[in-house]
Amino acid sequence: MLDIKLIRENSNLVRQGLINKNSADVVDEILSIDEERRSLILQTDELKAKRNSASAKIPVMKKNGQDTQQVLSEMKLVSDQITSLDEKIREVEGHLEKILRHTPNIAHSSVPVGKSAENNVETKKWLPDDFNFKNDFKILDHIELGKKLRILDFERGTKISGSGFPLYLGKGATLERALINFMLDFHLTHHEYTEIMPPILVNRESMEGTGQIPKMEEDMYFIEKDGLYPIPTAEVPITNIHRGEILNEKDLPIKYAGYSPCFRREAGSYGKESKGFLRVHQFNKVEMVKFVKPENSYNELEKLVVDAEDILQALKIPYRILLLCTGDLSFSAAKCYDIETWSPAENRWLEASSCSNFENFQARRANIRFRNETTKKPEFVHTLNGSGLATSRLMVSILENNQTPEGKIIIPKALQKYTGFEIIE
């Protein structure tokens, strides 16, 4: 959520920010509602002050045996006015809140302005030493490999649940589990994260806190009976750990990493993208979340990206990094890097991680603050998160990049002690 004071005091900056993010310019609407709100508050506060002072006098008058009849009827009137004004304020504030909750974060000044994904900027490309984009044998895609080696069964996954629910078998299941353990261990030992195992069903407040709701509501699963949402990412429960809290400045930055399955309806996105692992309703992901002091958040974002990169380099998976332009940035993000891994069968890059700085956008929604040691006042923290990483896309790259001409898979060295085997054949 944007700060109403920021909108009030820097309306043009916000206006341009919304336009850059391909979002509707609601600044004038917000300003006029805000003005109405403040004028109503002024009126009701005055009446309330009047009522309070009368309330203090009434018992004294009674004690002195004075007649309170006139004051009481006067105050009855005042109270009625307060009630109706408060009603109006509730309405106006509800309206304002609704608009603000639907208004996206604006991008940081270092983010390139652009309309869509084509305007994203590649900032880095990393390839393993012996890597070559051309192969001298026929590359099988992950679906064919999965079938041939009996490690993935998309058809039976569909039978059990529907399309987009992958079934891992045998060494495929072991490899998936190994990958999760490897990534978590790596972040804990090399990057000093605290491990989290979060609830994977969350309530509405949590979904609103991180910004998935209301904008992305259609993409979320929802269990109506209990009012719970299966999480689309561990970002939701992990960021909400500190919802409504005031943290100690000396505890910052707080760094959490956690594994969870992720559930996404992906409403309306069927088609070519949806085959195999490319777009699924359930996948596994290790997520990194940071709570940091505002002045450090951009520095922390760069470190977050490196944390994700370290995993890919250890696995020797070719990847590139994109700096997303304003138009491609998600609702809550102020700046975001996508990390894409190479799929030789698809002959293209696949998004495996997204590392974002939300500044205080989520913190404001979720009311996550820290006490500034110098000013002694609470301030909103900055929150960041990054996939570290999503296994489904990673699995595609691991299988396809490590296949032999005979269609076997060589397990990356770093993973072997987790899988207990070196090859899938």
Residues that bind RNA (CB under 7 A): 4, 38, 41-42, 44-46, 48-49, 51-56, 58-60, 62, 72, 75-76, 78-79, 90, 246, 369, 376-378
Tokens of 79: 């109270």
Please, what is the minimum distance in Å from the beta carbon of residue 10 to RNA?
15
Q: How far is CA 67 from CA 61, 64, 312, 395, in A?
A: 7, 9, 82, 83
Nearer to RNA, 87 or 122 (CB): 87
Q: How far is CA 325 from CA 17, 18, 330, 399, in A?
A: 12, 13, 10, 31
109 exposure class (CB count in 10 Å sphere: 0-12, 13-18, 19+):
exposed
Tokens of 225: 């009976």
Please, what is the minimum distance in Å from the beta carbon of residue 178 to RNA?
25
- Provide the residue count of the chain: 425
Give CA 71 to chain center in angstroms.
Answer: 55
Nearer to RNA, 272 or 376 (CB): 376
Nearer to RNA, 363 or 396 (CB): 363
Nearer to RNA, 25 or 87 (CB): 87
Measured CA to CA, the distance from residue 397 to residue 26 in angstroms comes to 42
Please, what is the minimum distance in Å from the beta carbon of residue 90 to RNA?
6
Tokens of 328: 């491609």
Nearer to RNA, 90 or 159 (CB): 90
Please, what is the minimum distance in Å from the beta carbon of residue 378 to RNA?
5
Please, what is the minimum distance in Å from the beta carbon of residue 384 to RNA?
22
Please, what is the minimum distance in Å from the beta carbon of residue 100 to RNA?
12
Tokens of 266: 């992906």
Measured CA to CA, the distance from residue 151 to residue 168 in angstroms comes to 6
Query: What are the backbone angles phi and psi of residue 201, rounded to the nearest 5°?
Result: -115, 130
Among 332, 331, 352, 329, smallest CA distance to 340 is for 352
Please, what is the minimum distance in Å from the beta carbon of residue 278 to RNA?
35
Measured CA to CA, the distance from residue 414 to residue 425 in angstroms comes to 19
Nearer to RNA, 250 or 377 (CB): 377
Nearer to RNA, 58 or 143 (CB): 58
